[in-house]
Structure 1
Amino acid sequence: MVRNRLEPVLAVGFALALVAVSALAPTYLGLAAPLSGDVYAGVSQPGGGQQIENPYGEATVTYDAHGVPHVSAENDRALYFAVGYVQARDRLFQMDLQRRLIGGNLSGAFGEQALDSDRFHRQMDFRGAAEASWRSIEDTEAGPSVEAFSAGVNHYRDTQPLPPEFELLEYTPKEWTPVDTLLIGKQIAWQLSGNFADLRRATVRDRLGPEASDLYPNRLAHDTPVVRGESDAAPFDPASVDATFEPDAGDASAAQTDQPWAGGTDSATGDYTALYDWVEAYDHEPGIGSNNWVISGDETASGQPILANDPHLALTVPGVWYEMHLDAPDTHTRGVTFPGVPMVVIGRTDDVAWGVTNVGGDFTDLYTYETRDDQYRYEGAFRDFETTTETIPVKTDAGDLREETVEVRKTVHGPVIEREGREVAVAWPGFSATNESLGVFRLNRAESMAEARDALRIWDVPAQNFVLASRSGETLFYPAGKYPVRRTEGEVVRGDQLFDGSAGEGEWPGYRPYETSTWSGFVPFESIPHVENPDYLATANQRTIDDPDFYIGTSDTYADPYRGQRIYERLDARAESDEPMDPQFVKDLQRDTRTADADRFVPYATSERARAEMRPEARNHADTVADWDRRMAADSEGALVYRLWLESFRNQTFGDEFRPNGLDESYYPKHHVLQTLPADSEWFDDRRTRERETRADIAARAMNRTADRIAEQDYETYGDYNRLDLDHPFDQSFLNLPERGMSGGDFTVFNFRYAEGRQAGSSWRMVVAFGNESASGGVVPGGQSGVFWSDHYHDQLGMWADGDYKRLSMTAPAGEPDLVFTDAGEEGAG
């Protein structure tokens, strides 16, 4: 999330919602090198028909009409060498930016203004976590393929012209390593499962007082969880898992070890605003999410399952995803991946399809300590922080490099971050050695639901809502991942609080950051709520289940329920009709623009009590909303009025309390909380006036403001406001994508949202229909290539914006291959 700072955000997102990976913010590169089109003169894209040496064997690459590489090889290593080569060919600059961001090395290319970002990412030591994960999978069946991918990237780097961005920024990318691939994975995982919600909550409590607690309930009052019936999970008994937290012995000071630890300090109280203001830029954005659903053959016209997925992430140029079709003796898969990751992350094999959304649980805990000098207190004794000093290269205005140092400190719980005297240690499963790369590798080879399920068993982070379907007719929902069981003095506790680390509160048995964890105190795979062979099931980042056997998350971490409500509403209606579900129905549902939140909010905007306080032009707008069909369509006047009114209504409700206390809208509660406030709630009262306002007063005030804004901006329809305006990092007209008005909103299934100059929405749209292969389709918001003169720079943009699809064929196009990899032997590629 970017808030008033030059922060290059590679926003991901797995759809795993999984979410967000992005390119740099335009301001960054504009500072680095003002450009004109002339700078590209004489630089040509490598052509097709090349003969390329491959140290692992023969392979071919044939690009289809949309620039998707169909890669075929005689073995896995030859395959992934070719994959590395073609990803570098299309996305090398983007790949390098991603590893620079998460590794804390942006300043070497972009100068002083990236230094804050580098300090954060160095202090969190994501690279150390990636190194631990590489040690974990290096000797597994996935290790050689990741190494071969790296070799392919480097072969392209060493033998072909580099993308012009490198010359413009005057640096050459370093060689790609397997750790870099896992580092990209850590970035994705952090954006989807790492958060500082506990800091945000502590800040609100400190600034607004305990009365604000009601704005952040444990559970939103809706009845549409992912699992609406019974889960097939085995019962979870906390007593059945290890309750012993066994950190490294550390360097405990002999001084004071004889003093009994009374437990509890005031370190968890006080104002953490400065610390949260700093880390907020690296927090995942609440509300960014995804949709997926699976329908069994019992409900379809073909008698075989259909699966749909569309992860919602920041929309960027080039796009978040890279599509590919891979074919080797043990691998036949098609789908999308993040540039820098060899395997398909969302997609299918011949026999199994899978899609992901973000669980939205609470997977990050923060710990405070009693400290003295360079020590922190733990288990009754003072220990030295594990401390290293790292050097960050910083590009100067003159173009040379200077050095800055950053101190990296860690405790038994994780890395330490600090601002203005407030510091916390961060625990996150992704800091440990994790195996999701191996899990993806196995998914790419799955020939049955049983094999796919085994791949999910080793999935660590980020926890993702997987829906799966098989050609043989099975369906499955499984929110796979590592769920910590926190303990304080042996008792299980919730995770939505700042813990006193000195007292050993909230510890995760079986977890060791930057090492191999046993996960012995985490929820067993069989006890994670899941559903075997559902007739149909949908996830949209809402809470997993009403009454889980263990703490998963709160209203702070889950999304508002509106997308989930709308998807289930349409699935239920179709299931209850005499008409079976088919691919066309599923695609139409992905195009659905009805916003379920309006069912409750529109009556607030149009009540007689509110209308009585509106100016005449505002009442006209209220009439428009009253007659509106609740669809966020680009050509709709009602959608325009509603969108602007809701934004103003939210600000008018909370702004008078939050803003004077230094809290902007990022601290506001969920829309569903606003929706369910009583009409006379104190939060509707404007503390700046002598009168006591009610909901109707604020609704009228918001509509008056909306009328002013529409007149000021000369808006006519929603598409005048909700505009697709995707700019390349260099922000030049010949690099930017065509602009247009868009349908969709924050809470619609067809998801696109514009706010504060940024756009987010469906970053990949996919439908897999086993009974009707020709109807399987997918599309991205842009194109395959990051090279602006390519025919595939944005050739899918129009299809995506219109809700259309291209076919997801599992067959390579006919004709001669574009790239031919010849067997050069192990030493052949150099």
Structure 2
Amino acid sequence: MASRWTRVTGVVCVLALAAVFVFGGQFVGLTAPFSGSAWDAVDQPDGITVENPYGEATVTYDDRGVPTIEAENERALAYATGYVQARDRLFQMDLTRRLMGGRLAAAFGEQAVESDRFHRRMGFEDAAEATWRRLNGTEHGEKLSAYSSGVNHYVETRPLPLEFELNGYEPARWTPVDTLLVGQQISWGLSGSFADLRREAIAQELPRALSLYPAALDHDEAIIRGDRPGHDWEPPADSNASVQAVYESVREFDTEAGLGSNNWVVSGEYTASGEPILANDPHLTLTAPPVWYEMRLESPEANVSGAGFAGIPFVIIGANDDVAWGVTNVGADVTDAYSYEWRDGQYRYEGEYRDPETHTETIEVADGEDTNVTVRRTVHGPLLERENQTVAVAWTGLTATTQSRAIDDISSAENLTAFEDGLREFDLPAQNFVAIGRDGGTLYYPAGKYPIRTVDGEVVPGDRVFNGSAGHGEWRGFEPYGRSNWSGFVDFEDIPHLEDPGYVSTANQRVVDDPGFYLGTSMTFASPYRGMRINDLLAERVENGSVTREDIVAIQRDTHSAAAEQFVPQILNATDEMSPESRELARDLDEWDYEMDRDSRGALVFSLWLDRYRNQTFADEYNANNLDDSYHPRYWVLQNLPADSRWFDDVTTPGVEDRADIAARTMQRVREEIDREGYETYGDYNVVDVDHPFPVGFLDYPERPTDGSPFTVRNFRAGGSPVGSSYRFVVADAGSIAVLPGGNSGNYFSGHYADQFDLWRNGEYRPFPTGTEGDPTITFEEGDS
């Protein structure tokens, strides 16, 4: 590969990158010292003039490094946005498109080959190209082209970021397909679930455990309230195919467990100002730089502020002059798997044997031998194969989509009616949109494309591996790598939604008890702990008086654990079975307030106990059947097991254990860990450790304690790739506020590389970007570039 530098050798495993949302984890090792040109990235002068072929524009940064980009027309705006995002986040952008296009190994060596192999077989780039064929020549396509030109102008005229020098490669030219690949990464990270394969593996290896994975968790905290489901789905066996080896080969690319979000709106009927309030905090992998990139975009057609993703020229969540909106993940099941009868390399479909569509692609490998990957596809989608086990995968993102155009439309909506019209085009990932309008209106809409599956004419849920040879479960109107007409999907008007609710919140729990169609199962929706707490706090504030921005901020900061409320009594009821040392530790929970705060001893004991209790309950039988802890059921299911459930009995011991025995045993493990590690309070364990993809210490954010847990509104999960509130923002008449878990710039030498990190971990905010005054940092003049 051509490079202006000598390649830096020594790379380490890159597969961690594919297992988390965007950039969780380090993956590039360095053995060579920095060359002098590595420091060229410091050169980010202010007051420069740049030619823009589409018209005039200016860029002015505020005191947190958030750019306001003003332009005389939409294409000039897109061009300037491309230039600015490349200035601030070029390496992050390049990494994302390499991941989704299956081109990591070309930069980082053979350790990335398996990641590339998966992404090539899935064909994400082919799907992005199908989308580009649909958009090319349209007004929206022209914006994507202008954006790409702006990115490339920066790359061609300015020093590259430090990371390129450290690893010794140059980025290829940016294209509209690359922007669409960034959208693919976001969508796959939120909706690319292999839960069907995981469930099938459980059914085959440990069938008696299927009752632990009900269609719906037994709670009353649906987003849209209604009666509980009358029964659980018990789908008939549709395939006898063994799929565990396939699942094991792709599980690191599955949707990351624990990713979630909160959002809610309160109408002016219940607020002190008489104006509606909106809050949103998406929970994603915490990265350096952060997942989100803040910006303000102004043109005659647009005036919008908020956060988007580097590589995409639009605001994803935010506010314009007329509408504000936020999103959380629905958790819908929009990925299906199909098995087939095979004969002589052909699969049976519609009564005949067919050859899979097959081609070979070459994976370029830096400092190693290039390797080939065979890509095979059926009528349903790409084939995933391992140890003579084969399934095809359908995912709503493997076709030409209108996601990008929908985001563009909703960000410029002049009212909630136009906003809702824009949501008609939003196909994936299915998202819980909440919105408020300047006219005082409120809206909740879980927009997206939801497939309808049938078997022999009967509508069925999608929580299984379908018999592809018989045509079971296939999505009518879906065309992999082509243009779908979506005829076999739920009509937009039939998606449960709320217009002008007094207040509504979402936290990834199921949308409604009876949606009228299959949305997902307990394996795809979150446990209701966060949703319960938010609803309780909102109801309390609505009942007690007028809701203020400070009330909403207090809810976002809330660290009360609804999970602890349920589990702590089980711990205290087991103290008779505990050793004196463990009993002493349990006493820390006796008068604990269930707040997951960094200075709390009770929060430390409970967090350590809960993390280990599930494994102590299920590991004996699961491990014996080749199922590790990633297969374990939800904590909500564990919480509600009877005290004498068979799952508490450890089959490896001669006795018969019950819940108290396992709770006591777990507390003994916690006692030993606290002594070994020297933990005193929760903050000793609950540490924010956010690393840059390069294992160079100065690029990482500092390790610091914080508050919150996976089951609190103030969301945080420590250890491994940390997960938490990747962006907090509140839109209110009293002034909108926001904060990032790091900084807006990906340039280490910028003063805005990590300047919001301490604000974020301490639950503080700063003003939401609404523009800034002063001399422009960059002025774009019309001319050739």
TM-score class, shorter-chain normalisation, is: over 0.9
- Is the 1:387–1:409 Cα contact (8 Å) retained in structure 2? yes
Whole-Å separation in 2 of the counterparts to 1:448 and 1:307: 15
2:92 partner SS? helix
What count of residue pairs does the alignment treat as equivalent? 767
How is 1:622-641 mapped onto 2 (pairs within 5 angstroms)? Answer: 622-641=586-605
Hey, what does 1:175 align to over in structure 2? 173
Q: Structure 1 residue 408: deviation in Å?
A: 0.8
Whole-Å separation in 2 of the counterparts to 1:215 and 1:45: 57
Letter in 2 for 1:9: L
Task: Report whether the alignment pairs 1:393 with 2:364.
Answer: yes
2:28 partner SS? helix
Hey, what does 1:690 align to over in structure 2? 654
Hey, what does 1:251 align to over in structure 2? none
Hey, what does 1:432 align to over in structure 2? 399
Q: Structure 1 residue 386: deviation in Å?
A: 0.7
Task: Report whether the alignment pairs 1:531 with 2:498.
Answer: yes
Hey, what does 2:15 align to over in structure 1? 7
Deviations 1:125-153 (A, max 9, x none): 00011011112222333111111110000
Q: Structure 1 residue 410: deviation in Å?
A: 0.7
Q: Structure 1 residue 521: deviation in Å?
A: 1.2
* Alignment match of 1:299 (pick from 270, 275, 283): 270
1:86 partner SS? helix
- Is the 2:42–2:749 Cα contact (8 Å) retained in structure 1? no
Whole-Å separation in 1 of the counterparts to 2:169 and 2:666: 51
Letter in 2 for 1:818: T
Q: Structure 1 residue 665: deviation in Å?
A: 1.1
- Is the 1:286–1:559 Cα contact (8 Å) retained in structure 2? no
Task: Report whether the alignment pairs 1:364 with 2:335.
Answer: yes
* Alignment match of 2:669 (pick from 693, 697, 705): 705
Task: Report whether the alignment pairs 1:452 with 2:419.
Answer: yes
Q: Structure 1 residue 164: deviation in Å?
A: 2.2
How is 1:163-312 mapped onto 2 (pairs within 5 angstroms)? Answer: 163-208=161-206, 210-229=207-226, 268-312=239-283
Unaligned runs of 5+ in 2: 1-11, 229-235
User: 1:230/1:325 Cα in 2 relative to 1: closer, same or farther (>3 Å)?
Assistant: farther
Q: Structure 1 residue 791: deviation in Å?
A: 0.1
- Is the 2:13–2:28 Cα contact (8 Å) retained in structure 1? no
Q: Structure 1 residue 43: deviation in Å?
A: 4.6
Letter in 1 for 2:726: S
Letter in 1 for 2:781: T
- Is the 1:296–1:306 Cα contact (8 Å) retained in structure 2? yes
* Alignment match of 1:760 (pick from 702, 706, 723): 723
Q: Structure 1 residue 41: deviation in Å?
A: 4.2
Whole-Å separation in 2 of the counterparts to 1:37 and 1:351: 50
* Alignment match of 1:320 (pick from 291, 299, 302): 291
Query: Percent sequence identity over matched residues?
Result: 54
Hey, what does 1:823 align to over in structure 2? 782
Structure 1 window deviating more from structure 2 (729-738 vs 677-686): it is 729-738
Hey, what does 1:737 align to over in structure 2? 701
Whole-Å separation in 2 of the counterparts to 1:191 and 1:669: 21
Q: Structure 1 residue 687: deviation in Å?
A: 0.4
- Is the 2:100–2:185 Cα contact (8 Å) retained in structure 1? yes
2:443 partner SS? strand
- Is the 1:633–1:744 Cα contact (8 Å) retained in structure 2? yes
User: 1:617/1:378 Cα in 2 relative to 1: closer, same or farther (>3 Å)?
Assistant: same
Q: Structure 1 residue 276: deviation in Å?
A: 1.2
Deviations 1:392-439 (A, max 9, x none): 10112xxxx632111111111001111111111001111111101000
Hey, what does 2:453 align to over in structure 1? 486
Whole-Å separation in 2 of the counterparts to 1:79 and 1:473: 30
User: 1:640/1:46 Cα in 2 relative to 1: closer, same or farther (>3 Å)?
Assistant: same
- Is the 2:18–2:253 Cα contact (8 Å) retained in structure 1? no
Letter in 2 for 1:353: A
2:364 partner SS? strand
2:597 partner SS? coil
* Alignment match of 1:334 (pick from 295, 305, 316): 305
Whole-Å separation in 2 of the counterparts to 1:620 and 1:666: 32
Whole-Å separation in 2 of the counterparts to 1:294 and 1:213: 37
Whole-Å separation in 1 of the counterparts to 2:94 and 2:259: 24
Whole-Å separation in 2 of the counterparts to 1:122 and 1:101: 10
Hey, what does 1:584 align to over in structure 2? 550
Structure 1 window deviating more from structure 2 (175-184 vs 44-53): it is 44-53
Deviations 1:686-710 (A, max 9, x none): 0011111100111111111111110
Letter in 2 for 1:600: Q
1:29 partner SS? coil
Hey, what does 1:262 align to over in structure 2? none
User: 1:571/1:741 Cα in 2 relative to 1: closer, same or farther (>3 Å)?
Assistant: same
Hey, what does 2:4 align to over in structure 1? none
1:153 partner SS? helix
Whole-Å separation in 1 of the counterparts to 2:143 and 2:359: 33
2:525 partner SS? coil
User: 1:318/1:594 Cα in 2 relative to 1: closer, same or farther (>3 Å)?
Assistant: same
Q: Structure 1 residue 204: deviation in Å?
A: 1.3
1:466 partner SS? strand
Q: Structure 1 residue 42: deviation in Å?
A: 5.2
2:577 partner SS? coil
Letter in 2 for 1:416: L
Letter in 2 for 1:179: V
User: 1:547/1:806 Cα in 2 relative to 1: closer, same or farther (>3 Å)?
Assistant: same
Deviations 1:560-608 (A, max 9, x none): 110000000100111111x21111110110000001011110001111x
How is 1:114-193 mapped onto 2 (pairs within 5 angstroms)? Answer: 114-193=112-191
Hey, what does 1:572 align to over in structure 2? 539
Whole-Å separation in 2 of the counterparts to 1:379 and 1:39: 61
Unaligned runs of 5+ in 1: 13-19, 232-264
Task: Report whether the alignment pairs 1:598 with 2:564.
Answer: yes
Whole-Å separation in 1 of the counterparts to 2:503 and 2:532: 14
TM-score when normalising by structure 1: 0.90
Q: Cα RMSD between the aligned structures?
A: 1.7
Task: Report whether the alignment pairs 1:802 with 2:736.
Answer: no
Hey, what does 1:379 align to over in structure 2? 350
User: 1:668/1:11 Cα in 2 relative to 1: closer, same or farther (>3 Å)?
Assistant: closer
Whole-Å separation in 2 of the counterparts to 1:104 and 1:5: 15
